[in-house]
Chains A and B, each alone.
Chain A
Amino acid sequence: MDIQTWTWILVGLTFSVYIGIAIWSRASSTGEFYVAGKGVHPIANGLATAADWMSAASFISMAGIISFGGYDGSVYLMGWTGGYVLLALLLAPYLRKFGKFTVPDFIGDRYYSNNARVVAVFCALLISFTYVAGQMQGVGIVFSRFLEVDITTGVLIGMVIVLFYAVLGGMKGITYTQVAQYCVLIFAFMVPAIFISIQMTGNPIPQIGFGSTGADGIYLLDKLDGLHRELGFNAYTSGSKSKVDVFFITAALMLGTAGLPHVIVRFFTVKKVSDARKSAGWALLFIAVLYTTAPAIALFARTNLIETVSEKKYSDMPEWFTKWETTGLIRFDDKNGDGLIQYVANKEKNELDVNRDIMVLANPEIANLPNWVIALVAAGGLAAALSTAAGLLLVISSSVSHDIIKKIINPSITDKGELIAARVSAFVGVCIAGYFGINPPGFVAAVVALAFGLAAASFFPAIVLGIFYKRMNKEGAIAGMISGILLMLFYMLKFKFGLFDGGKGVVAALSSDWWFGISPEGFGSIAMLVNFIVAITVSKFTSAPPESIQKLVDNIRIPSGAGEATH
């Protein structure tokens, strides 16, 4: 069977599973819609969190980014996993004990202020919308590359599927579809990795193949370092970013991970505080399977690519080369007219341009794997994008129906009315996300990085101080969040968009002005520090929080007595 047929079969099969789960797990109350009735098993929640967390970017782009960046790619590997240690130790158990439905719920109650709640809702919506647009775009890209339907149709199909299980099942439906989606995506990621690892090193475990020797008896990493030197690239194992920048980007990604509302809210769905800790461990274990495999794929793919193309005749290129050339993801321009491909660091002489996404999407073809494995990658990419999109949509809908409608506009709304509001806002959310997926604003990629910076600069300090610093009051928290966000926004607008210096064209030149040599991607760590300092200083000069709040903090610090969710 050809790749197309296989892809339709696998995508169709996985989509029917998701729909089946949606019908089986309809939500009948707001408690089920927002937090799956708080009855999810910690391992199931770990699987769901892993799928929730690993987005289209993790699945499709990350291995490629590492492949081209070498050591520089480590910021994503450490940043997007290390955040779970912070989440497990500093946030998840306490927020579960607090026992409400959303992150703004915690901020609003702990800081006894609807103003704090509104600031939190604003941050949650901003973060989630920027993120979800990227996911829908990912769905469209997978459809168009593998199934040759246009991006719009692809996004529409994805929207219908997400609508079905997010609107019908809420968190309950999303949780169990995410469990299935994790299985699909990890299988799709691992099968090609294992095949390629065997081909290149004879070892079926990619994490070990990563440090093994190839057929010629030379360690793959040493060989690639050598190839890079010959072609003029930086050594694969040392990269090119400055140490300061690597440090702060890693920190910002970790802190942002721990502050992302769609991840935090997953820990509200388990039965007990001890389950919240446990499921953070399971989540990271399931994530680590992909995250420790990705750098191995990066190495295999990079070596394969260079050995296949470098100084080889263009006319001898294998079939996949021309296939991806027609999609524009590979571009060859024979500058010196010798019919050979020069793939070198020197921009003047380099003749080959390779899109980083190819490293995962085309890897199975490059390694000559069977058609069903190639088709599997499409199903996996879709699972990764849809699972993350659904988690984000839930944050969007609960922010509107619970935090705004129930808590601020109309507190007397019935549970049934709130459930309808939640479904309607999920529906509207899907439509907006779909619109941005079809008409992606040029700044999506840039803004996803902003989402991490914003989460680090706003939620992380507010929540941590709320738990660990009893004296923190509303004045301090609000001042901290606002100064953190504004500073982050200012830095991004200045150095990522060139807003104050004449537009995007000057962005590259501005990098010499970076404060302390820190790129906008890493600046979230600084904005977070500013948030902490402002919050603590302001709280010192204003009155202590009321007695009842100090009792609340005492209460969330111990696990006993965590009951059902209350409004």
Chain B
Amino acid sequence: MHDLNQKKYWKENLKYLAILLSIWFLVSFVFGILLVDQLNTIAFGGFKLGFWFAQQGSIYVFVILIFVYVRLMNALDKKYKVED
């Protein structure tokens, strides 16, 4: 592959990583831990919201994040013609 193209591919990949990992950090470390007390004042069905993020919500988001990543990367591979 052309050097310049490879650089662009890698840059876009890093951008995706930055976005997805920020969400990963947000739902677990921020919602589930740092802001848990504030979020716990909000009721979410029978849950306190912060507690729900720590024991349920963050895990659901993790699963979604990986599948989103799979889709994004498959499209990116296609765009730069680097599919395997």
Contacts and interface: CB of A to CB of B under 8 A. Distances in A.
| B is bound to A | yes
Nearest to B21: A89
B20 A221 contact: no
Contacts of A318: none
Interface residues of A, number: 52
Contact of A211 (B29, B45, B62): B45
A207 B81 CA distance: 42
Interface residues of B, number: 45
B62 A71 contact: no
A186 to B, nearest CB: 15
Contact of B46 (A222, A273, A561): A222
A78 B58 contact: yes
Given A89-B69, A219-B46, A221-B46, A207 B84 contact: no
B66 interface: yes
Interface string A68-85: 000101100110011011
A220 B48 CA distance: 12
Majority secondary structure of chain A interface residues (helix, strand, loop or mixed): helix
Contact of B54 (A74, A210, A272, A557): A74
A89 B84 contact: no
Nearest to A295: B55
A280 B51 contact: no
Contact of A554 (B6, B52, B60, B67): B6
A558 interface: yes
Contacts of B9: 557-558
A250 interface: yes
B28 A220 contact: no
Nearest to A212: B46
B69 A277 contact: yes
Contact of A250 (B13, B29, B82): B29
Interface stretch (A107-115, A188-196, A281-289, A329-337): A281-289
Contacts of B42: none
A277 B73 contact: yes
B62 A82 contact: yes
Residue from B32, B33, B60 whose CB has the most chain A CB atoms within 10 Å:
B33
Contacts of B6: 554, 557-558
Interface in A27-86: 66, 71, 73-74, 77-78, 81-82, 84-86
Given A89-B20, A211-B46, A81 B70 contact: no
A22 interface: no
A88 B47 contact: no
7 contacts: A71-B54, A77-B55, A78-B32, A82-B24, A82-B28, A82-B58, A278-B70
Given A74-B51, A295-B55, 7 more contacts: A222-B46, A237-B48, A243-B33, A281-B70, A285-B63, A558-B82, A560-B83
